Structure 1
Amino acid sequence: MDIQVEAASAANDPLGRALHLLRMTGVIYCYSYLHPPLGIALPPIPGCLMFHAITAGECWLRVPGAEPVLLRAGDFALVPRGEGHDLLSTATSRADAFFGLPRVQLGGRFEIMRHGEGTAPVSLVCGAVRFDDVLARRLVHALPRQIVLSGQALGPSNWLSPILALLQEEVQHLKPGGEAVATRLADVLVLQAIRTWLQNDPGARTGWLGALQDAQLGPALVLMHEQPGTPWTLASLASAVAMSRSAFAARFAASVGMPVMQYLTLWRMALAQSRLQEGQVRLAELADSLGYQSEAAFSRAYKRWSGRSPGSERRVEDVAI
């Protein structure tokens, strides 16, 4: 195999390839009417991205480790890592547990919640979605603790306000098929919000995300992601992207935060866990597809990494590398 040619055809847009895999599965969607004084504590949902689309009123979003932010009508907020967080009337309000509040199930994964009494409620569409692809989960894990977008701040390219208006219409006047339309619109909002942050925020040019956009590190990452069974070495990867071994190793570690071969091992283990959790996979075939010479060698590597044997793996948690 001509590794140089393979690298050239692997990807002209590594970040775009990762975005292409951001296909999500909805876990829960909830349309909420919340009357002040407002204080709702949403629990952590591991492995999920959570979002809030504000259609009327305003409330504070408080995520651990991030500054509280005031959300107004027309804003859209993401909590990418599924961390527990609060929606509040004021930045210091007390919060009640979300799952202890009454909700009406509308079928499927969609529900409505009404909380409190009075005038001028805050209305919002909230949800939690899961990304099943390993690379998509890696991208979402690289996002900050919270992302907040405002239609006004987007200026002439404001895509947010019209989608929010459609979403509000669907959830306020439920029609046949309304649940399906509302969930699709929410999914579009999530994808567009991630794309907008990646395009505009300086933080998207650092770390693993920055490496994906690097002219040489990006193609190297694609080779590891898409050809995990190739017997890559530091030297062969460096050669594939036309870099010296030492320069490639130094730039990769500085950008990604770990040595090349450690990243490759963690990537292979993440793929292994995902495939094992899906079931119906033979260990020998899995080992071969990930570049291991034998089932025994793969099993030892997997147990060193996870503390469990491959045969005992269950879908207990998502992988973050």
Structure 2
Amino acid sequence: MSRSSSIAVDPLSNVLDILGARVARRTRIEAAGAWSLSFPGLDRLKFVALLRGDAWISVPGHQPRRMQAGDVCLIGRTDYVVCSDPTLAPADGRALYDGPERDVARINGDETVGIGGSVTFAGANADFLLDMLPDFSVVPRDASGSSAIGITLSLISNETEREAIGGEIVRSRLADILLVEAIRACASEVRATGMGWLGALLDPRIGRALAALHENVAHPWTVAELAGIAGMSRAAFSAAFSRRIGQPPLSYLRSWRLTVARTALMRDNLRVADVAEMVGYQSQSAFSQAFRRTFGTSPKDDTAGPATIP
């Protein structure tokens, strides 16, 4: 006799799904010789991966990082420069990709080949994830948990060279996989310190509490109840959660509830009262007040469309 079992909610998958995260634009650069391109900071998440050669990535507040084939980096809201030499003055990289069907930039050859992906989110919901992720993180090809990245990059490279039918949808799905694998690898890199949201997801105690919270966002959670799931005292749990994630447990819960609600109002066209109940508010008025304090508009007026990221 077979038994069915439920699969525990994975907070990362839950967040990416609710936020409607997807790689909406994929770009490629082929370059040789001396070159340097700058790009502005935007409310988006971007990845850059090298398929061949090497390049440097520079962002404000960090030392330039040399990347080699197989390396991937995640970039948040910050400006960044990708180049052959960090001492070169950069040109505006947007000009090379400005316009439809301009997703490939070629500069003097193809000693270095890289790909990039810009991630869009449903409505104005980028803030929740971007606030939780570092502005800049490099995953070396030999980092723990990066083996899947190498396989994915190889598949992307092969698919690009094949130019087979259905290639566009295959490359699109592979880009989504690469994004998740890069975030996973970043989580593995920060696991030792445990700091930040990614580190908290992999923490055996804080991670259990986060999984429970995401599995049932409408539950009337208390700090004591979440601490019990984590197997910690209330004070120790609250301090550890706040230190690692940057906000107390119930503030995180409120932020996620309102993010889920905003997505439901935009995507599912539900009544405000139904959405308030769905995310755990006992009254529509309390929900509306919290929504207005957080987003600066009432739930009825919040009609933001999908974000478009260049």
Q: TM-score category by the smaller chain?
A: 0.7 to 0.9
- Give the one of 135, 147, 157 matched to 1:145: 135
Asked if 1:94 is matched to 2:89, the reply is yes
Deviation at 1:226, TM superposition (A): 2.6
Deviations 1:21-40 (A, max 9, x none): 64642221122223432121
Shift of 1:314: 3.3
Residues 206-254 of structure 1: per-residue CA shift (max 9 Å, x gap): 2333433444433332333232222233344445555544444333333
Matched position secondary structure for 2:133: coil
The CA distance in 2 between the partners of 1:236 and 1:72, in whole Å, is 46
Give the fraction of aligned pairs with identical amino acids, expressed as a percent.
Answer: 31
TM-score (norm 1): 0.77
The aligned amino acid for 2:25 is I
Distance in 2 (alpha carbons) for counterparts of 1:309 and 1:165 = 47
Alignment equivalent of 2:250, drawn from 250, 261, 266: 261
CA contact (8 A) 1:31 1:171 kept: no
The secondary structure found in structure 2 opposite 1:205 is coil
Long gaps (5+) in structure 1:
1-8
Residue 4 of structure 1: aligned partner: none
2:63 equivalent in structure 1: 67
Measure how far apart 1:284 and its partner are: 0.5
Q: How large is the Cα RMSD of the aligned pairs?
A: 3.5
The 8 Å contact of residues 18 and 139 in structure 1, kept in 2 or not, is answered as: no
Q: For residue 5 of structure 1, what is the aligned residue in structure 2?
A: none
Larger Rg over CA atoms: 1
1:133 and 1:243 mapped to 2: Cα distance? 37
Which of 113, 119, 126 aligns to 2:116? It is: 126
Matched, 1:271 2:260: yes
Helix, strand or coil at the partner of 1:54: strand
Corresponding residue of 2:27: 30
Number of residue pairs matched? 299
Unmatched runs of 5 consecutive residues or more in structure 2: 1-5
Report if the CA contact (8 A) 2:146-2:185 is conserved.
no
The aligned counterpart of 1:84 is 79
**Aligned AA (1:56):** R
2:219 alignment partner AA:
T
The aligned counterpart of 2:274 is: 285
C-alpha change, 1:40 and 1:250, in structure 2 (3 Å) is closer
Structure 2 CA distance for aligned equivalents of residues 123 and 57 of structure 1: 7
* TM-superposed deviation, 1:283: 0.5
1:10/1:204 Cα in 2 relative to 1: closer, same or farther (>3 Å)? farther
Give the counterpart letter for 1:145 in structure 2.
Answer: D
2:152 maps to which residue? 163
Paired residues of 2:30 and 2:112 also in contact (CA < 8 A): yes
Report if the CA contact (8 A) 1:103-1:114 is conserved. Answer: no
* Amino acid in the other structure paired with 1:68: P
Q: Residues 183-202 of structure 1 correspond to what in structure 2 (within 5 A)?
A: 183-202=172-191
Distance 1:156 1:298 in 2: 41
1:207 aligns with 2:201: no
Indicate the SS of the match to 2:85. coil
What is the match of residue 51 of structure 1? 47
